[in-house]
Each structure stands twice: as structure tokens, then as C-alpha cells.
Structure 1
Amino acid sequence: MSGQDVAVVVDPSVPEEVAWSLRSNAQLLARVRRGLTPDCELDDDSRPRGLVSAGVAGLVLLDLVFFLAGLAPLVILTTGAILLLLLSRGLSAIQPGDEEPEGDLIQQARWYDGRYYLRDDFDAEALPLLARTQRAINSVLGSHVNAEGLLDDVRNSVMLPQQEWEIARLLAKLSALRAEHNELIADGVAPEVAKAVQPLERALLNSEAAVAARVEALERYAGHVAEAERAYHAHGQIEELRARLPRYEELVAESGADGFAVPEISRLSEDADRLERALRRSVSSAHEAFRYLDS
């Protein structure tokens, strides 16, 4: 995940259904930030609707003329045209894959404004840190060892989104202050002002370093989880091989190859035991890293 691909960060206290909707509509959220409202969406579509309404009215009037003139076949034709026009308009309003009216999404975006962050909330220095945060969290939450409950999956599902939100909040604040600071000194500063600026610049650098330390702690935890994941998969493969061991032993016994193959095959049990210990150590290390992260 690069800085260009960071996902929308939503306050964990936002209802999950709403949070999912916000994360899935980053472009719409950006448009809302630029002033989009549900009324704007209706206005954008007013011209086609007006044309359809005018067309229907014209056909109804023509239908009435034909009826008064006693031209029943033409009445039927114009009535059919009205129905087709209305049907085509209704179908065009339904877009494939629509799960929620855009007006509702706009209302949600406005209602929960301030409880989500978009890519535009972060500057070039902050985006890579947020991308690293999301990559580490996604790798943990998407791991088999987490899904199987070998880690503290409940705490992971609660604490890791909270960590993402807190890091995003700090990075957004840091980005805003950094932008204001850069704008202030863009045209240079007088010597006497430079001394006052230096502590502010150190505060920005120290704050960024502190956030980076949080991200590194997340990455260390994700690294321990990745080790546990590798041990988990290797252990599973060895267990499958060990389950097939009797068939191999039967084969080598029948073929008279006992003296050549039995020692190698019997080592499968030792490998399985060794991987079991490695898995336990990896999970234990992940728990230790989690406790450090939680402190």
C-alpha cells in the first residue's frame, strides 16, 4: 500500500454499517467536503427530468387530440409511447451495483463529518506513515492465526482500529500545523523571528517522531504475527504429511525399502513437534509485542 492508496479512516465509535459505507465512498466524501449536497445532486439531474416531463405532457396532449378526433389506433400508439418513456426513465435511474441512494450517503458524510479522515487530510510526509499503519493492521487482522484465535482476536478487533484512528488523528493535525507553518515562513523570516520559529519546528519534528514510533510498534507486532503465520502454515502442512505417514510406511514395507526410507519418514514427527514449539514461541512473541503496543 503506497501513500496514494490509503483507505478512509473512520472513528471506531461510528456504527459499523455506516463506517463501511464511508470507507467505500472516498470520492463522494471528497465531493461533500467541496460542498456537494443532496440538493446539488437533484439539480444536476434536473435537465433530463425536465425533458422527460415535457415529453410526457406533449404525448398526453396529443393523445387527447387523437381521442377527440376518434382516432383510436393513434391513441393506443401514443399511450404506448408514454409507457415506454416512463419505463426507460425509471430504468435509467437504477444504476447496476447501487446499494444505497447517493443522497443518503451525502447525508451520512455530512452528519459524520469530523469522524473520518480522507487522503486529502494528510500531507506528503504523513501519508506514508498512515499507509504503513494500515498495512500492518490489515496483515494482523487478515491472518489465519488471528482468525483461529491463537492471538487475542477480540482485543485486536477493538484496539487496532483505535490505534489506526489515533495515528490518523495525530497525522492529520500534524499535517495541518505543518502546512500553516510552511505558509508562514514561505516568504522568509526575520532573524529575530527565526529564533521563535525553531522551537515550533522542533515540536513538529518531535511529534512526527513520536507518531512514527507508534507505527513502528505496530509493524513489530505485525512482524511477530507474520512469523506465527508462517509457523502456523508450516505446522499444518507437516500435520497433513504425518496423517499420511501410515500409507507411506505401508508402501515402503511392501516394497522392501524399509532400511532406506523409514528414518527419513520418521523425522516428520520430529519436524511437527519442532514446528509446534516454533508456533508457540511465535504466538508468545506476538502477545509480548501486543502488550508493548497496548502500554
Structure 2
Amino acid sequence: MADVVVDPGVPPEDAQLLRESRRVLIKMRHGWVPEPRRSASGLRARRIASLGGVAFFGLLMGVGFLGRGLGLLLLVLLGIPLMIVLFIRNDLAEEDDEQDYEREVYEQLRWYEGRYVLPDDVDESSARILGRAQRAIAAVTGSRVNAEGLLDDVRNAVMLPAQEWEIARLLAKLSALRTKHRETVSQGLTPEVEAVAEPLARALDSSEDAVLARVEALERYAANVADAERAYLAQHQIEELRGRLHQYEELVAETGADGFAVPELERLAEDADRLEQALRRSVSSAQEAFRHLDP
């Protein structure tokens, strides 16, 4: 599945940030809250002060040795601590930048809990079902017939993300409840509790079947779009051949191959007409399949 599935109702800029912030979202899901900015800055100052102390100690040691004529040793003793300070200071700056970024992401996205689904939110079975839905949606939105407006591209742009979100949301809810159910029954059940647990397990299976029916409807729509795509491509190839028809006719006339080639050339026009009709039929079938996706 995609890294993060987002409720289409989330503003586009925030939705994009959600999709790009999976690592932070996972931390937030586990209860992470960033340190206040003042605390983080104080910690950084203390670290740098400590490292400065190391450098200063190195300087004092070097001065002591200088009195004995060991200037080179001074350079080593002073230079190494200073290099360590510089390197670690850069690392701390990068660390602070990362913390600042995560803090900003947290402040923007903490209001959207419940409006996105992470990969960890769905179990293995649900992940497979969601993957099927996403592949079907990608096949439709990436098709030429959709790009050319032969389908209802406006409704596709609205309905398909809504379908993906609803499927992901339901599968996440199903996965969470199914995990808890399995944890309970794995402890062993008395006959009385088992009599209750079995119908509840069937309810979970029925819910999965209902979501799967939505996905299968999407796949039927994608299959109809694929038929339309093939007809659309074939029609354009025939039109390209028809555009060069006079060149073929001229060639066969010059070579004396009329009796062999002319019947084949004449079929181009008939094939183009048939493909145009097939395209109209497959687009109509796709639109009919799309209507079944309406809530």
C-alpha cells in the first residue's frame, strides 16, 4: 500500500505533508511529543559548553608542554579537541534542525489523528485488499482514456480518492478489532465465552467480505477502463495507418502487387469503424461500472 492514505477532506498542503511525514506520524502514534524549544536549546548550549571545556583543557596542556619545547605537541593537543568541537557542533546543529522540523510537523499534523491510515494500521490480509484497491485506482487514473476525458474524469478525481480512503479507514478499523479479538481468543476460552466469540469472528469475516466487495467493484471498473484503453490505442494505430494509406497504394501500384495488397488496405477503413464502435461500447461499460461505485 501507499505509505499514508489521507482523508480527501484534509487540505491539500497538509495532506501532502502527511504523506511525506510517515516517520514522524509513527512516532506520534506511539505517544511521542517533541521537547519544548527552550529545553532543546539549553541542552545544546550545555553540550557545546562541555566540548569547549575539553578544548580549553587541551589548550592548557599544550601550553605546559610548550615550555619544554614541544610546540608540535601543542598543535596536536590543541587542534584535535578543537576539531572534535567543530565536528560535533555541526552534528548538533543538524540534530537541532531535525528537531525543529519535527516540532513544526507535529504542530501542524497533531490535529489530524484519525484522518490518515499508516501501513502499520492494517494487518496482512487487509494490506493485500488495500493494495488491490490502490492498483485498480492507479490503473484508472493513469489511463489515456481518463486523461483524454473519455471517462468522467472530474468524478474520478473526486470519487476514487474517497473510495480509497473509505476502504483504508474500514480496513484499519477491522484490523485493530481483529488483532484484539485474536489476542483474547489466544488465551483460551471457556465454552460459554467461545459461544459468543465465534459469532463475533464471523462478524469480522463478514465485514472483510463487504470491504472486499467494494474493491472488486473498483477492479471491475478498472477492467472496463483497460478494455477502453486497448480500443483507444488500437483506434489511434489504425488512424495512423490510414493516414499513410495513399503511400501504401502508390507503392503497391508501382510494384504491381495490387491483387495481393489492395483488399488488406481496404479493410483498414472497416477496422477503424469497428474499433470506434468498440471504444464507445467499452467507455459506456466503464461508465456503467463507475456508477456502481457511487455511495
Shorter-chain TM-score category? Answer: 0.7 to 0.9
Partner residue of 1:223? 223
1:118 is displaced (CA, Å) by 0.2
1:251 is displaced (CA, Å) by 1.8
1:262 is displaced (CA, Å) by 1.3
- 1:22 matched to 2:21? The reply is no
My pick for the range that moved more, 245-254 or 35-44, is 35-44
- 1:290 matched to 2:286? The reply is no
1:170 is displaced (CA, Å) by 1.0
1:6 is displaced (CA, Å) by 3.6
CA spacing shift, 1:287–1:43, aligned 2, 3 Å: same
Partner residue of 2:30? 34
- 1:9 matched to 2:8? The reply is no
**Identical positions, percent:** 60
Partner residue of 1:69? none
- Structure 1 residues 188-227: aligned runs within 5 Å: 188-227=188-227
C-alpha RMSD over aligned residues: 3.4
What is the aligned counterpart of 2:48 among 41, 47, 51?
Answer: 51
SS at match of 2:207: helix
Partner residue of 2:65? none
- Aligned AA for 1:119? P
Partners of 1:245 and 1:54 lie apart in 2 by 81
TM-score, normalization by structure 2: 0.78
1:291 is displaced (CA, Å) by 0.9
- Structure 1 residues 76-95: aligned runs within 5 Å: 89=90, 93=94
CA spacing shift, 1:110–1:262, aligned 2, 3 Å: same
- Structure 1 residues 108-123: aligned runs within 5 Å: 108-123=108-123
1:38 is displaced (CA, Å) by 4.1
Contact 1:32/1:109, CA 8 A, preserved across alignment: no
Partner residue of 1:73? none
Partner residue of 2:280? 280
CA spacing shift, 1:280–1:45, aligned 2, 3 Å: farther
Partner residue of 1:247? 247
Partners of 1:145 and 1:276 lie apart in 2 by 13
SS at match of 2:209: helix
Partners of 1:279 and 1:30 lie apart in 2 by 46
Partner residue of 2:264? 264
Partners of 1:116 and 1:127 lie apart in 2 by 15
Partner residue of 1:145? 145
My pick for the range that moved more, 244-253 or 127-136, is 244-253
- Aligned AA for 1:35? G
Partner residue of 1:159? 159
Give the number of the structure whose alpha-carbon radius of gyration is greater. 2
SS at match of 2:186: coil
- Aligned AA for 1:17? E
Unaligned ranges ≥5, structure 2: 60-81
CA spacing shift, 1:233–1:127, aligned 2, 3 Å: same
CA spacing shift, 1:147–1:45, aligned 2, 3 Å: farther
Partner residue of 2:180? 180
CA spacing shift, 1:228–1:192, aligned 2, 3 Å: same
Partner residue of 1:75? none
SS at match of 1:13: coil
Contact 1:170/1:211, CA 8 A, preserved across alignment: yes
CA spacing shift, 1:185–1:39, aligned 2, 3 Å: same
User: Alignment length, in residue pairs?
Assistant: 266
Partners of 1:15 and 1:125 lie apart in 2 by 30
1:7 is displaced (CA, Å) by 3.2
SS at match of 1:293: coil
TM-score, normalization by structure 1: 0.78
My pick for the range that moved more, 40-49 or 104-113, is 40-49
1:89 is displaced (CA, Å) by 4.5
Contact 1:6/1:130, CA 8 A, preserved across alignment: no
- Aligned AA for 1:26? R
- The superposition leaves residues 214-235 of structure 1 with CA deviations (integer Å, 9 ceiling, x where unpaired) of 1111111111111111111111
1:143 is displaced (CA, Å) by 0.9
